[in-house]
Amino acid sequence: MFYDTIAAIATASGIGGVAIIRMSGNQALTIASRIFRPVGKTPVAEFEPYRMYPGDIDCGSFSDFGMCVFFQAPKSYTGEDVVELHCHGGVNITRAVLRSCLRCGARLAERGEFTKRAFLNGKMSLSAAEGIGDMINGESEAEVKAGYLLYHEKLSKKVKALQDEFTGMLAGIDAAIDYPEEDIEEEKIGDIEKSLRQAEAEEASLLSLYKTGKKIKSGVTVALCGKPNTGKSSLLNALLGYEKAIVSDIAGTTRDAVEGSIEIDGVRFHLYDTAGIRESADKIEAIGITKAERIVRSADLVIFVCDAREVDEADAVVLESVKDKPLIRVMNKIDRDRDHIDSDADVYTSALTGEGLERLKAKMKEMSVSSYAEDSAFLIEERHYAALERGHKFTVSALEKCGVMPLEILALDIKDAWDALGEITGETATEAIIGEIFSKFCVGK
Ligand code: GDP
């Protein structure tokens, strides 16, 4: 519990129907009673919690008519007494209400301070607080959904269960050390080894989800490849729904990588068109080729485009250069020639008529984030991944020592694994880590 009361504008700055000024701390209701004049007979100090009261808000040189609601500790967002003043959403009104709060004893909140207090008061884990950040800042629907799962403690519950397993192992080791004469060590080692194996597998399975989580957070990078004139730029434009890449009949005109982003079922895809990967004497074209190769190398997914009428050796050369990547083979221009369709293709499209584009999009989603179960915990934050990876290393190290080293030595690794996981929930996170996380929030959250 903190002894000062913080205040901030909780809604976005700008003009809107309503704006909310929020206070949190012991004095929230007292300060509100100095600013708010309720319409009814109930004085502010006797407000029933979680009920909206209409009244005048003192804005200094003028008043606004609005609402006041009191959230009583500990049943509030921060775990402290919280008061919200709802005023008309004008910039000057909102600022004036905030000034009134500050004049009457509140302190201006720092970035993320409401959520930081919620965490420090035990209302949520650190990963849940980060989930709120992901929801607010999420650039795609999938990222917002993933943030919501974090906020609902899906990850921290899994992590806590793992920590409980480690705690159980440590208790077992303590017992074995305390009663050496009972010859329980041998049996204990077997139990611990079994538990460690289980924990290691759970950690590894969570870690493997980060591949998908990262794509959900940052988007999936897709490179469109193929020999010149197969319709890569046209396909990109058709996917994006507007003219972005330069379309031309002259082979090799797409000199640079052209970027655009689309959302498929809430997941962001960044599309890169590449100049045809092929030998070229043209210097500018050659630079484009190097860039194209770099793009392919870093892409999560490659869309390899052929012209349905002209499948030849040149296609095979390009295919050879991208065959190690997750690949979708697209046969384009099927509006022209349906008799020469290569049966090896995954999707048949016409960038001109739009045929096959929905199938292509579905394939793109399936190939990149298929392991993504929408309602279970997974990793989207690099910080969580790093902590879990460290925890996993200690678990593996403990496993290797099982039956080889004394139990006391094993216990050190198990304790380190517990601590590493504690960084995710916040139990063992340092002040610096906590400060860094909340500094990314906006004031008022
Ligand atoms: P890129 O070099 O692979 O990027 O190919 P472009 O997108 O520049 O297309 C080359 C030519 O093929 C252009 O004249 C396009 O209009 C044409 N084209 C592209 N896709 C299709 C398609 O699906 N059907 C038909 N009939 N023409 C297409």
Q: Which atom of ligand 1 is nearest to the CA of 248?
A: 8
The response to whether residue 237 sits with its C-beta less than 6 Å from ligand 1 reads: no
Q: Contact 11/20 with Cβ under 8 angstroms?
A: yes
CA of 267 to the centre of ligand 1 (A): 27
- pLDDT for 281 equals 47
5 lines ligand 1 (CB under 6 A): no
Residue 121: predicted pLDDT = 95
Kindly report, residue by residue over 266-323, the tens digit of the pLDDT. 899 999 887 544 444 455 555 555 677 788 888 999 999 999 888 888 888 888 888 8
pLDDT of residue 136: 92
- Please report the pLDDT score of residue 258 as a whole number: 58
Q: Quote the CA–CA distance of 333 and 344 in Å, as a whole number.
A: 15
- Ligand 1 within 6 A of 337 CB? no
For residue 238 and ligand 1, the question of a CB distance below 6 A is answered with no
**How many angstroms separate the Cα of 278 from the Cα of each of 70, 194, 252, 257, 285?**
68, 54, 10, 15, 10
β 36-38/18-24 pair status: unpaired
Task: Give the residue whose CA is nearest to atom 9 of ligand 1.
Answer: 231
CB neighbours (10 Å) of residue 270?
16
| CB of 317 closer than 6 angstroms to any ligand 1 atom | no
Q: What was the pLDDT predicted at 175? A: 81
Core vs surface per residue 341-354: b (16+ CB within 10 A) or e = eeeebebbbbbeee
Q: Determine if ligand 1 sits within 6 Å of the CB of residue 231.
A: yes
pLDDT, position 279: 46
| Predicted pLDDT of residue 288 | 54
H/E stretch holding 416 reads helix 407-425
pLDDT of residue 259: 72
Residues of the chain short of pLDDT 50, as ranges, are 255, 276-281
Contact predicate 293/317, CB 8 Å: no
From the alpha carbon of 273, which atom of ligand 1 is closest? 4
Residue 100: CB within 6 Å of ligand 1? no
- Tell me the CA–centroid distance for residue 324 and ligand 1, in Å: 26
Between the CA of 234 and the centroid of ligand 1 the distance, in Å, is 5
Contact 277, 293 (CB under 8 A): yes
pTM: 0.81
Give Rg (Cα) of the chain: 29
CA–centroid distance, residue 307 to ligand 1 (Å): 8
Q: Where are the alpha helices (DSSP H) in 279-381?
A: 283-298, 313-322, 357-369
Check residue 444 and give its pLDDT.
81
